[in-house]
Amino acid sequence: MNYIFLLKQSQTVRILTSVQIIAYFGSWFSHVAILALLVKLGASAFIISLAVAIAFLPALIQGPFVGALIDRSEPRKLMNRLLFVEAICTVLFVFIEGGEHIWLLLVLVYIKMAAAGLYFTSEMSLMPKVLKPSELKLANEMHSIVWSVSFTAGMALGGLAVQFLGINAAFLIDASLFLVAIFIFNRLAIDIKPKATTESYLDSFKDGLNYVFRQNPKLLIIIALHATVGLTVFDGVVTVLAEHTYKNVISVALAIGFIGAIRSVALVIGPFLFSKSINKDTLLYMFLGQGAAVMLWGALSHDFWLSLVGAFFCGLFTTTIWSYTMTMLQDSIDKEFYGRVVAINDMFFTAAAVLTSIALGVMMEAGMSGGATLIALGGVFVAIGVAYGVIKRKIALKSQK
């Protein structure tokens, strides 16, 4: 089975993939506009990094609470409403006109990403219920490819739209795309009813925590591995480099767009290169490769054109790590706990993204260059790879006794 065959065979996959393409494209399309708007409003490097962090904060706060909601809700109705919330928030960005409105921008980013995160968790919980294990692995890889393609096109075209049409035009285009996504999503023909229960939300929440932290410690290892992808939140670094290092070569919006685009081209290529070879043994080399690539990017970041080379290599490993660790997690969850475990996973993932974004912002505010922060982050990935190799070896030796 391949990607094309799965798309032909499953209407559910076709519709969800179409919505992914439109919604993700729109999100990254307006992401450039948000960053450009922050620069226009005179936001500091810390505020920019904080805005990036807030984009990931909802899942950290919502965590397993929304997981309990997902496990008790009808997926189709919930996901449709979440897309509508994203569309409304995107329209409201056009009313932000001065530095005194930065707080409103941060609030809207939070609400928009809260809806987006809940939609993603709902989708990741839905797919194992409607797909076979072999289909699920392909669907996850397709999801990472779609995200990367949308990231590529969204960042590149978003930069061009901001440059030539203006920031507000980018927001309005994005809102229109969400309306198209809602229209397509309403064609989804699934009728999954939540299991009837008299259990309270609090008890459901506690059961989810107990399932992960006490009954299945193996899940914590997989969740931690998946969370490492959250370390690849480079938006704040790229924005600061664009504003202070590349501004004499290219505009801020175009620099952000092109770097994001070239990196996401590699995100698309990665799964095609590594899909057949990725397994629990080769995952170690994915982490080491990711670390080496981030350090290379940091070393080349002083020059805009060379930084494109570094950004490309940096993106080659990310989607494979994401899709494989997500599949590992989904394969290890009992059906009635999908929503809660995936939500806890999102909580760890976003915690890594938030802490990384804030830490990078603090490091740059303290005088550390963007390139140096990237090199330091690359070293973290190398350390994670080594740790994974040690843990895997200990588990293997224990199983042999």
Contact 390, 285 (CB under 8 A): no
Supply the pTM of this predicted model: 0.70
List pLDDT tens digits, range 92-149: 998 888 777 788 888 888 888 888 878 887 888 788 777 777 788 788 888 877 877 7
List pLDDT tens digits, range 322-345: 888 988 888 888 877 777 788 788
H or E element, residue 197:
none
Whether the pLDDT of residue 229 is over 70: the answer is yes
Contact 185, 80 (CB under 8 A): yes
CA gyration radius for the chain? 20
Question: Residue 12, SS3?
Answer: helix
Average pLDDT over residues 219-237: 84
Whether the pLDDT of residue 67 is over 50: the answer is yes
> What is the pLDDT, as a whole number, of residue 209?
82
Q: Which residues contact 327 (CB under 8 A, 6 or more apart)?
A: 136, 137, 140
pLDDT-based confidence at residue 186 (cuts at 50, 70, 90)? confident
3-400 under CATH 1.20.1250.20, yes or no: yes
Average pLDDT over residues 33-48: 81
**DSSP labels, 338-357:** HHHHHHHHHHHHHHHHHHHH
Question: Residue 352, SS3?
Answer: helix
Q: How many angstroms separate the CA atoms of 168 and 280, rounded?
A: 46
Whether the pLDDT of residue 6 is over 50: the answer is yes
Phi-psi category of residue 63: left, alpha or beta, with phi > 0 → left and psi -120 to 50 → alpha:
left
Give the residue extent of every domain in the chain: 3-400
Of the two residues 386 and 272, the one the predictor is more confident about is 386
The fraction of the chain above a pLDDT of 70, given in percent, is 92
List pLDDT tens digits, range 357-401: 778 778 877 878 878 888 988 999 999 999 988 888 776 655 444
Which tokens belong to 294? 């981030």
Among residues 224, 220, 213, 342, which one has the least CA distance to residue 283? 224
> What is the pLDDT, as a whole number, of residue 397?
52
Q: How many angstroms separate the CA atoms of 311 and 259, rounded?
A: 7
Whether the pLDDT of residue 297 is over 60: the answer is yes
What is the separation of C-alpha 107 from the centre of its chain, rounded to a whole number of angstroms?
19
Whether the pLDDT of residue 313 is over 50: the answer is yes
Average pLDDT over residues 282-292: 93
Question: Residue 388, SS3?
Answer: helix
Share the mean pLDDT of the chain. Answer: 82
Residue bearing tokens 């409103």? 104
pLDDT-based confidence at residue 52 (cuts at 50, 70, 90)? confident
> What is the pLDDT, as a whole number, of residue 401?
47
